[in-house]
């Protein structure tokens, strides 16, 4: 059976599919619709309104030009993706012949249901509705997906999700990380009498942030949007007690990794206020290190003695934690165990046991020259040792001298020297 659809020049066939029909307008599955054999498109009954608007002149994302409805897909000389959302267009779309751009029906419908422009109190320019699939929100830093809607500033390039505008439109918020006082929105940056970084993540706050005048507490927009860090952590791998978040500026030394911190640690009240970085509090008990066959377990504390990292050969403070392999007695600093450089050192060290190829040695030397230009003295000394074919005891002695300058590259060259010696 055929019918006439208002606004379309061809007769269309009525389609009643029990399992649904994919619409070339809204890209959804619905039961019942129309099919045009001439234009080769399918459309739901609820979407036939598009034929009543064959030309659009007032679209906010493309003002000044006429958008015409096409029923046979995007022209061959144009990009078939939608100019706004980045998705591939269907048979039905709107097209601007002057600019050679295409808009799908879904984006047209979104602009009809949402306000075209937004004037926010915290931004000096009007925001226009229209978010691309590949756009990254300027505040939550997440890339839009197929369901994301948002606004952009055509003057300064600011991009913001619709859900983020609801948060920033509030002059005051309450946040779990600072429940004592409400946080007020500031649009001109953090006050000079406070730290210019976020008290939670440590990143620069920028011009737009939330602030507490009483506590001098700053919260950037990303932390205001994302799920805040838990006030308490329990059932942890690195500690047996519940840890409590202290969201303030405070200098401390992390009891897990032994490095310094300056804000919002987790503390254990039962253990005389042991402190942990937010990342260290969630460290796993066991990790897998690249190019190492065994699992490496966290041990706290190591116990009295002289401990050195099995990769960079730096001394480890036994009163803090480290990852260790009980079979080969490798110890790794927490902040080095997953670093790319130490993984690279371990790989080259193991490579020494497997292959003895002089071309490989020269390649490794070149890589380290590029990677650590500041270790010129170490490189010169080690190459001189390799040239003289010095033995192990002499290499270890020179390693002790060089390590006083804080370099961990020498251990790498120490292993390399044995390869050059043979």
Tens-place pLDDT, residues 321-379: 677 665 544 444 444 444 444 444 544 544 444 444 444 444 444 444 444 444 455 55
Q: Are 50 and 36 in contact (CB under 8 A)?
A: no
Give the per-residue pLDDT at 351: 46
pLDDT at 411: 43
Return d(Cα 150, Cα 58) in angstroms, integer. Answer: 19
User: How far from each other are the two terminal CA atoms of the chain, in whole angstroms?
Assistant: 88
Q: Are 281 and 304 in contact (CB under 8 A)?
A: no
Strand partners, 307: 316
How far CA 110 is from CA of 113, 147, 149, 289, in Å, comes to 5, 11, 8, 48
Predicted pLDDT at 202: 82
pLDDT tens digits in sequence order for the chain, 422 residues long: 677 766 677 878 887 765 567 777 777 776 778 888 888 788 877 777 677 677 877 666 666 678 888 877 888 888 888 877 677 877 788 888 888 888 887 777 665 545 566 777 667 777 777 665 557 777 776 776 545 567 777 777 778 777 677 666 678 888 877 878 889 888 778 888 888 888 888 888 877 788 998 888 888 877 877 766 777 878 777 777 888 888 878 888 888 777 788 888 888 888 877 788 888 877 777 767 666 666 777 766 666 766 666 666 676 666 666 776 655 444 444 444 444 444 445 445 444 444 444 444 444 444 444 444 444 555 555 555 554 544 444 444 444 444 444 444 444 444 444 444 44
Orientation angle between helical segments 358-371 and 376-388, nearest 10 degrees: 160
| Rounded-to-10 torsion of CA 125, 130, 134, 136 | 30
Q: How far apart are CA 54 and CA 7, in angstroms?
A: 8
Name the DSSP class of 31.
S
Sign of the Cα pseudo-torsion (131, 136, 138, 142, in order): positive
Q: In angstroms, rounded to a whole number, what is the distance separating the alpha carbons of residues 296 and 217?
A: 39
Contact 312, 320 (CB under 8 A): no
**pLDDT (0 to 100) of residue 121:** 67
- Rounded distance between C-alpha atoms, residue 399 and residue 308, angstroms: 13
Render pLDDT for 74-89 as a digit per residue (tens, 0 to 9): 888 888 888 776 778 7
Residue 59: per-residue pLDDT: 67
CB 243 within 8 A of CB 233: yes
DSSP state letter for 370: H
CB-based burial of residue 263 (10 Å sphere; 0-12 exposed, 13-18 middle, 19+ buried)?
Answer: buried
- What does the alpha-carbon distance between residue 61 and residue 66 come to, in Å, rounded to a whole number? 12
* Cβ–Cβ under 8 Å, residues 306 and 365: no
CA distance 64 to 41: 29
User: 287: closest CA among 336, 240, 241?
Assistant: 336
Residue-wise pLDDT for 123-153, tens only, equals 777 777 766 555 777 777 677 654 556 777 7
The CA distance from 221 to 77, in Å, is: 42
- The enclosing H or E element of 380 equals helix 376-388
Instruction: Indicate whether this model's pTM tops 0.75.
Output: no
Q: CB–CB of 334/300 below 8 Å?
A: no
On average, the pLDDT of the chain sits at 69
Contact of 36 with 115, CB cutoff 8 Å: no
């Amino acid at each position: 059976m055929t019918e006439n659809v208002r606004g379309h020049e061809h007769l269309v066939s009525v389609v009643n599919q029990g399992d649904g029909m994919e619409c070339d307008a809204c890209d959804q599955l619905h039961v019942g619709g129309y099919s045009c054999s001439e234009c080769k498109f399918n459309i739901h009954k609820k979407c036939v309104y598009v034929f009543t608007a064959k030309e659009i002149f007032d679209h906010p994302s493309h003002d000044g030009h006429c958008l015409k409805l096409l029923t046979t897909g995007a022209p061959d000389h144009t990009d078939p993706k939608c100019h706004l959302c980045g998705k591939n267009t269907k048979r039905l779309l709107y097209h601007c012949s002057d600019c050679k751009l295409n808009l799908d029906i879904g984006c047209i419908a979104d602009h009809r249901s949402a306000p075209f422009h937004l004037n926010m109190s915290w931004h000096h320019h009007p925001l226009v509705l229209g978010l691309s699939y590949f756009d990254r929100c300027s505040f939550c830093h997440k890339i839009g997906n197929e369901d994301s809607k948002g606004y952009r500033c055509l003057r300064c390039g600011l991009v913001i999700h619709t859900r983020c505008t609801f948060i920033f439109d509030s002059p005051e918020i309450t946040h779990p990380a600072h429940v004592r006082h409400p946080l007020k929105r500031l649009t001109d940056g953090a006050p000079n009498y406070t730290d210019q970084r976020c008290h939670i993540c440590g990143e620069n706050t920028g011009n737009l942030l939330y602030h507490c005048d009483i506590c001098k507490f700053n919260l950037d927009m990303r932390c205001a949007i994302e799920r805040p860090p838990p006030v308490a952590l329990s059932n942890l791998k690195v500690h047996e007690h519940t840890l409590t978040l202290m969201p303030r500026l405070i200098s401390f030394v992390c009891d897990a990794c032994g490095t310094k911190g300056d804000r919002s640690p987790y503390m254990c009240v039962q253990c005389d206020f042991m402190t942990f970085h937010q990342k260290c509090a969630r460290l796993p008990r066991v990790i897998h290190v690249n190019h190492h066959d065994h699992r490496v377990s966290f041990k706290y504390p190591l116990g009295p003695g002289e401990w050195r990292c099995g990769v960079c050969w730096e001394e480890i403070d036994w009163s803090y934690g480290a990852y260790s392999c009980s079979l080969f007695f490798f110890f790794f600093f927490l902040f080095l165990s997953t670093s790319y450089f130490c993984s690279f050192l371990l790989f080259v060290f193991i490579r020494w046991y497997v292959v003895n190829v002089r071309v490989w040695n020269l390649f490794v030397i070149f890589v380290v020259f590029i990677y650590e230009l500041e270790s010129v003295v170490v490189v010169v000394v080690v190459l001189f040792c390799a040239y003289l074919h010095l033995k192990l005891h002499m290499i270890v002695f020179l390693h002790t001298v060089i390590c006083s300058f804080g370099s961990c590259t020498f251990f790498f060259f120490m292993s390399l020297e044995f390869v050059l010696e043979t």
